[in-house]
Every structure is written in structure tokens, then in C-alpha cells.
Structure 1
């Protein structure tokens, strides 16, 4: 009996994923456990294995196609087995073909010679009727490509004969956007929303249902602001600067942002534009944690311990200290604080693809050795690009460490809706007066950025002071 191969649901909130590569071709033999294809989300890649022995009888999607989760992407069965009952003439399951049909709201009829997006939406309840009446002229190849890519071809500028939309028009639309996830596309067509965003937060910049909700809320705010400002004149002054001098030819190359770089860029801009960020800097005497680190290096293997680092110790101390400072172990959503009972610690990881922040859930309930082990596992998964997306969210506080890169102090940027993020800096040697004599001690820097809307300067400073005390008396902290 034939076995359908489905697009897996990796993260709880994933709507779709892109097929990056097929390792088996139609007609080839496969065995259970063999890698069939690789999928890509916005931050990770995963290998999907075959669940049954047999022949790959059909493949419903190509490399580069975005596919909704839990959708059939292929079928495995016995060689020569009849699978016509589960596929259409186009090689896709009937249920999938049905879901790809566009539903366009009904309204009053208009002149059939106009082919704008607004005209099509108002005139006909579905795409087939619009095409039959000559409103939309689109080639089959272009239509199929638009459906697979998740774009609304009504945004295209036709370049084919007699105003016909052809494949190159769809390719141009994919390049400039907007491109939707399947779920978002369906919601957009039903809502009649005036789309004011050309790029979203999904895979490859695709617009998700979350982006549509945010767009709707922004339009509501803009409408209210416009009504409040009615009757007031606005003047804009455009200043132009002219640089005079000889023109010199500059050699350069253009490097487009990767998907993860786009996500990072959007998140950073959103963080700085929507929060009131302030940073406190402090240092602590790292003598005790350095001594503890030397003990771990000398005898850790004997006791079955991980290679516990200074950063692991900071994470442990943060997870305990935050319990006494709940406003920093919280999310600020609108004008409501969500204060968490346990500490879900985000840890910034540097990878070749860009910065990733996996979460150690319930860090305050884990031992130093458990935290050290989990950080290493999550970091390795991030660098391989195989981390479960559910581990890239849910953090209540973040720690980022630039100490190994000799950074003495810096200003970390918040990860909204979190209210705090701690930067860990390098160790420098500073003098201090002891019994009338100056001596040098290892001083480690800490940089705490917090959202001043939720936390005032004094409470933030008290957190840093408590953290400093815990780190300077690390052995006592472990004994609690």
C-alpha cells in the first residue's frame, strides 16, 4: 500500500517550509531511515527521512517550492502500484489542489476591460470566472508558478502579448514582493486588507499571518492618528546636499542579505524603535570564578563534569539572581507586564549564518553542569542549522558574551518583548588599594540593557549589584 510523504511540522508556529534539495528522484528505490529531502525554515535546515521501504512513485513539489506543513510532498509504494486515486492529473493530491484555489470577494460588476487588482476583487468571486471573462490574462506556466511561490499575481505588471501575465512577470514579482505563506495568502484574500508591507518575517521574507495582523493594527493606529490631526497643515522640507569634486570610480560588489540577516535586521530596527533602552555598566572581581575554572580544568573529567566555562558560570548566576528581580524576567506587551515564575534564559550564539539566540528553558531549576551541557548542545545545533525553531523563542532574559573578543564594554540591544539583556565583557586588570598597598585584580565587565518603560534605573542597578555579589562569591552561590 502506498505511503504518503508529508512536509513535517518542525516548530509549533511553523506554517510552511521550503524544499531545499531532493536526494531521491521519482522511480528510485528508498529504504526506511534514508534521507529523502532537506527542508529550510527561516533559521534552520532539516533532513527528512523516509518512513517506509519501496519506490518513490511520485514527487508533488520541486526544489525551491514553499510547502505548507503537513502537506503531502510525495508518495512511496511498490513499483508499478496504481496511485491515480490519490493524485490529480497535475501530480498533486486532490486536497492540495483544492486549497490552492483563490477565493476573491464578491462585489458589484465593473467594466471587463480593466485588469487592476481592485477590479478583479470586486467583480468576480473566483479566479476561474475572472479569467473566463477576460479580466485576467495569464499563461498556465505563470499561474502555476504564482501558486507555488505564494504570490498574488494581481500585483504584477504584465509584459506579455495583449497584456498577458507571463512567467517572467511572476519571477519579477517574487523578486520585489509581496510573497505570502499559504496561510497568510488565504487570510489576506478573505480580509480585503490594504497591504502596506512588501516583505515579511517568514522564510525568504514571506508575509505571514502575524505580519498581516501587525499590518492591520498599524493601519488602525494610522487611521486614528489621521482623524486626530484632521484640519492641521503639515509642511515638509526636503534638504539636498551636493558634493562637489572630482568623481572617482569606486570598485565594489553587491551582497544581498541572507534570510537570517533580513530577520536580524528587522528585529534590531524594531527593538530600537519600539523600546526605551538604557544601559548600565559595572565590573566585578573575577578571582573566584577563575579559580573555580582552574579546578574544573584540573579535575572535572574525574568527576564526570562538562568543560564548564566562565560564561556557563555567568549564566548560572544570572538564572539565580533574576528570581529576586522579577521585572527583568518578564515580557512587556503593550502596557502589560508578563512576569515569569521560572527563568528561560536566551543565550546569544555567533554562527556563520548570523546571530542566533536559543533558549535554556527553566534554567533556574538546572545545575551548573546541566546548563553547561545544554548550552554546548544548542550552540552546536545553531551552527549546523538544525535547531528546532521552538528553541529560538520563549526566552525571558538574554545573555550575550563578547568577552572572548576582547570587548571591554558594549551596549547590547534588547530582544523584545524581553525587558533586559546582559552583555558579558572581557577581563581586564585594575588596581585597588589593600592595606595601604595597590594590587591588581581581574575585573570582568557586565553591561545591562533594560527597557526603561518597565524597569527604572535603580532596580536595574540593584540587579547588577546582586549579580556582582553572587559571582564574587560563586562557591557560596553553588551551596544554596
Structure 2
């Protein structure tokens, strides 16, 4: 017997919701009233319990899908039918072999990618077909719009099949590969195996690599022979970009970061010295978001300069005691974070955002700290920074920065920011205009501390100066508010005692 799981009543005037998280996957056993998934509306979060005991048979509405009241979310196999469900409709379940004494195969599935992320690209396989793997050993790495996700082996055995080669775009419920039992190692590695990595491609070219599915589709639609396309992927595999380059009359592949105009012809001797590398999904997303910010917001930047003498003296005086007591070094980021939180209270529109025709004021500060990583720029968020001490801020920045550099940040750690600080000074930048991080309305750019001659009480003195830049959305923040914010930050840094006195 099959039971349908549907969207419950969401409340007065609420007609739709977004599937936030599935707690169960196809093939999982569930008990009566056990939570299956969580829905988010614009007002509340709704948990969906199981109406019966059985086995999860199919997920109809994936994470990130928007569904209406009474929409079908999933199906549940009850009673005796539960045992058959995993084999028939559950890609996450282990598929038992026909022989009773042969080891079972286990499917390698895409792990949970995070809120609102529905697909990923397979970037690297660490194992090849026929390789032995241990449980929890890393098999491959996926790239999403925000983070990289490592996929561990769900069981020990031999990698018998790779169903999603490098370069393949997969959804949140896709199968990546198959792990066979140890006894099946010889069979898995044999030429008779149906693994895509060992199977010659259709078309009789004799090459022993599997082309990207998107490339196969593009070649079929264009009527191109596989031999007519030069592959630039791993082991010579053909990627979608390779097909696009072959079709000289066709437009460049449509990616979020692709330029509108086609690339000009390149002399053959120059082309031979070029290296073409596909943009990562993170880099594509960065490009798209930055361009969206320029297209949507009325971005303006105002500048000021701050004398860092007092902040540097305070830091120098107490840094050793601070580190001894709190176990973390005292940097300048905590000073700037504190100063911004202080200024945001006086100029709340810099901490607000536009939602349609409404302005949403935030009575809290979730501070985004922009961090450069080998993969690109990410902005981890320190939640409720306005309630933190200097030590708590320094610890949070250090921990988030390390996780960012290691590629271990989760989606939740990069969402919900209300204001951002970007420190270009660590790279030696003396002056720049930061770009907004949508939907935020303000971003502060820090720069290099540079000794310069300044006139102090009628005398020329050498002072450690820093240029500050505030980029803001002029649709919501007026010039007066932007300048006031920047002056308050300047005042707090030039006399840090103001932060203690809340002045």
C-alpha cells in the first residue's frame, strides 16, 4: 500500500512554501509521526510528520522546490510493500545481487548540499573504477554555487562504477557511482565491466573516456561527430565548452559569467600558448552576483580617512594580556567590527534592505567578513556581532577564516548577513571601491595603513593613516546617512574609548 505525503495546511493567507530539508531519503525506514521534512514559509517553519510506518519510496518535491497547499511531497510504502520499495524506487538503497552469497552493491549518492542548493558539478574523482576504498574515504568532490562538498564512501569495497564523471552537473538526489563488495573487485576492474570510465564511447572512435553528458547532448543537437571535437577535459574527454568552440557560428556557452560578445579570433601561435580553464561554479556565482548588484542597486561610494594612532597604541598596550587571557590574538578587525556595529545603530538604513516596495530594518547585526580563498571570494557571517565582545569577535573571525580557506564553510555560515566588511589592506590596497553584497545596502572597505605627513594642531606629524570607503545603495541610503556612518566609524577608531562609553 502506498501513502501520499502532502503539504499540510500552512496557516491563514499562506498559500505556498519552500521545501527546506528532507530528513529521510528514498529507501529509509520511517515510523509513524517521525519527521520527514521541513517546509519554510514567509512566516513560519512547518515540519511534516509521517502519517504511517513504512519505507520512503519517492521524493517528488526536492529541497528548494516551491510547493502549494496539498501538493504532493513524497510517497511512502507501507507494511509488506516496504521491503520492495528500496529496490524499485530508492536510489539511496543498497542493491542486493542475485546471488545470495555475493556481496551487495552500495550506491554513492549526492549528499545534502544545503539550503536552496539543488545541483552541483562533479569537479574531481579521487578514485578510479576498480580501486579499493575504505568506509568514509573520500571518493570525489562536488562544487556548488557556494561551497565544495566532499563525498565519502558509504561502505568499504571496490569502486565498481562511476555514473557521474568529472564535469557532470548533478541534482540533489543523483547517483554518483557504485561500490561493490571486496569479493567483486576482480569483476569490477575487468574490461567486461560496464563502468563508464572503461566503456568506449558510442561512435566507434575507440577512445576510452566518457564525455560529459552535456557535451553529448550538444553534439547530438548540432549533428557533430565526436571525432570532429577536440576534448580538453581530463584524459581528453569532451566538455560542453569544447563543442561550443567547434561550432564557430554558435554563441559562446551560456554561463552566468559569460561575456555577451563572442571572443575575437586568436592567432594560431597565440592560441597554442593559451590555457583554457573552466570557471568553477563558485567563480560563476561570484560573477553573477556582482553583476546583479551593479544592475539592481544604485551603488555610490563615499570616502574618508582615519588616523589609526590610538587604535594601534591600545592594541600594542594590551595585545599580550589579551592573548594570554582569551587565547586569541587582538587584531584590528574587532575594532572595525565594533565601530561599524556602533555606527549602524545611529544610521540603521545602512543595515537595512529593500524587499519590493518595503524597507526591512534589522534590529541586529549579522556581520559579513569578506575572505579571499584559493577558490574565490567568500563572505562568512558572524551572527549577532553587535552583542559580542572583542574576544568573541576575534575568535569568530579566526575560526570562520580558517574554515573558509579550508573550503569547509557550510551554506548556513554564509547566509543572512546584514552588513559586510572587506579588508583589501591585507593585499596592500591603498584605495578601492567595494561592491555591495546583495541584498545588503552597505559595505565598508578597509585598506593598507600607510604612514603619511598630516597637519596636527598646526604642525606636520607622521601618522599611520587608512583610507575608508563605504559603498552603499543610494535607493535606501542618502548621502547624509552614508557620510554620518563613515564619520562615526572614523571617530570610534580615532578614540576607541568612545566604544566603551557608547558615544
TM-score above 0.5, yes or no: yes
In the alignment, the residues of structure 2 paired with residue 477 and residue 328 of structure 1 have an alpha-carbon distance, to the nearest angstrom, of 19
Q: Aligned-pair distance for 1:43?
A: 5.0
Equivalent in the alignment of 1:129: none
Cα offset, 1:52, TM superposition: 3.1
Instruction: Provide the rounded CA distance (Å) in 1 between the counterparts of 2:244 and 2:354.
Output: 32
Instruction: Give the distance between the partners of 2:239 and 2:177, measured in 1 at CA.
Output: 29
Distance in 2 separating the partners of 1:155 and 1:416: 39
8 Å contact kept, 1:323–1:342: no
User: Which residue in the other structure is 2:382 paired with?
Assistant: 360
In structure 2, how many angstroms separate the alpha carbons of the residues matched to 1:404 and 1:443? 15
Residue among 413, 419, 435 paired with 1:397: 419
Alpha-carbon distance in 1 for matches of 2:179, 2:219: 37
Q: Which residue of 2 aligns with 1:217?
A: none
Of structures 1 and 2, the one scoring higher in RCO (CA 8 A, sep 6+) is 1
3-state secondary structure, aligned to 2:439: coil
Residues 1:431 and 2:486 are matched in the alignment: no
Task: Give the TM-score normalised by structure 1.
Answer: 0.63
Deviation at residue 286 of structure 1 after TM alignment: 1.8
Match of 2:116, SS? coil
Question: Structure 2 matches for 1:314-463, cutoff 5 A?
Answer: 314-427=336-449, 428-434=451-457, 437-463=459-485
CA RMSD of aligned residues (A): 4.0
Residue 310 (structure 1) aligns with: 332
Per-residue CA deviation, residues 378-429 of structure 1 (Å, 9 max, x unaligned), is 3333333343344344322211112344444322122222211111123343
Report matched runs for 1:60-459 at 5 Å: 60-76=163-179, 78-80=181-183, 148-149=213-214, 153=218, 156-160=221-225, 168=229, 171=238, 173-175=240-242, 198-201=253-256, 253-254=273-274, 256=276, 258-259=279-280, 260-427=282-449, 428-434=451-457, 437-459=459-481
Query: Normalized against structure 2, the TM-score is what?
Result: 0.61
Q: SS at the partner of 2:432?
A: coil
Q: Which residue of 2 aligns with 1:49?
A: 152
Match runs of 1:456-475 below 5 Å:
456-475=478-497
The one-character-per-residue Cα deviations of 1:263-294 (angstroms, maximum 9, x if unpaired) are 44333333323322211111233222102221
Q: Shift in Å at residue 68 of structure 1?
A: 1.6
Partner residue, 2:84: none
- In the alignment, what sits opposite 1:8? 111
1:421–1:449 CA contact under 8 A, matched in 2 = yes
Q: Which whole-Å deviations, capped at 9, do the CAs of 1:412-469 have from their partners, x for residues lacking one?
A: 12222221111112334343343x6554443332111111111110011111122222
CA positional deviation for 1:11: 2.5
Quick check: 277-286 or 36-45, which moved more?
Answer: 36-45
Name the one with the larger strand percent.
Answer: 2
Match of 1:20 in 2: 123
Change (3 A) 1:52 1:152: closer
Whether contact under 8 Å (1:57, 1:75) holds in the other structure is yes
Aligned length: 363
Counterpart Cα distance in 2 of 1:305 and 1:47: 31
